[in-house]
Structures are given as C-alpha cells and as structure tokens.
Amino acid sequence: QVQLVESGGGLVQAGGSLRLSCAASGRSFSSYAMGWFRQAPGKEREFVSAINWSGGTYYADDVKGRFTMSRDNRGNTVYLQMNSLKPEDTAVYYCAALPDVYGGRSYYYTRTDTYDYWGQGTQVTVSS
C-alpha cells in the first residue's frame, strides 16, 4: 500500500513559478513510476508528466519546456517544478504511483487507468 500527499499548490500570476511535492509512504518507492495529472473544472483528468523507476521523464506537449519532474528516492518524494505558468494551467494537480513494470514504454505512464495509487490533489490557480 502506498499513500501519497501532495503539497505546494497555490495562487500565482501568469509567468510565475510553483513547485509541487508529492511525499510517498510505503516500501519500495524506488521501484515505482510516479505521475502528475491535473483536472480543471468540467474537464477530464489529464496527463501532465511522469518519471519511471530509473529517472526517465515524460511530459505532455503543452508543458514541455516549462515543467520539470524529478524524484528523490531517499526522501520518497517527487517534485514538479512549474515555470512560465499560464492561466490554462489552473487545475487540481494529482500525484499517482504504479509499480513500474512497463520498461520505459511511455504509453503506460500517460494513462490514468495504469496507476494504482492517487493522492488527494493540490489546487493550482494561475491568474492573468
């Protein structure tokens, strides 16, 4: 069982930055792939970024070059550094985890139904 707790959300002006954190409890964190997803009001939950067990990263097209995901296996934490934020980035951001058996095949890391564990989410609001 893995429990995930997100933090770092808030209100920021367009062009600003935020860093989200996701702290994981449970064993074998280093063997898990981790993902960030977001959900805006009235929209479906969508993929933002993921990092596999070996540190390979994957990003949605609309955040490439602006967001960076990283992991600290000693601290059982993943981070999402978000720069050049836009109003359309406004959403609840969720952290998710899965035992990484997919060998770097990006298709699996971008799907919500692949992940076994989810956090409660943290609100990010970007004002124009």
Which residue type, as a one-letter code, is found at position 25?
S
Share of residues in the chain with pLDDT > 70 (%): 100
Residue 118's pLDDT is 98
* Residue-wise pLDDT tens digits, 16-43: 999 999 999 988 899 999 999 999 999 9
* Residue-wise pLDDT tens digits, 55-99: 999 999 999 999 999 999 999 999 999 999 999 999 999 999 999
Angle, CA 46 vertex, CA 97 and CA 99 arms, to 5°: 15
* Residue-wise pLDDT tens digits, 109-126: 999 999 999 999 999 999
Query: What backbone phi and psi angles, to 5 degrees, belong to 97?
Result: -140, 150
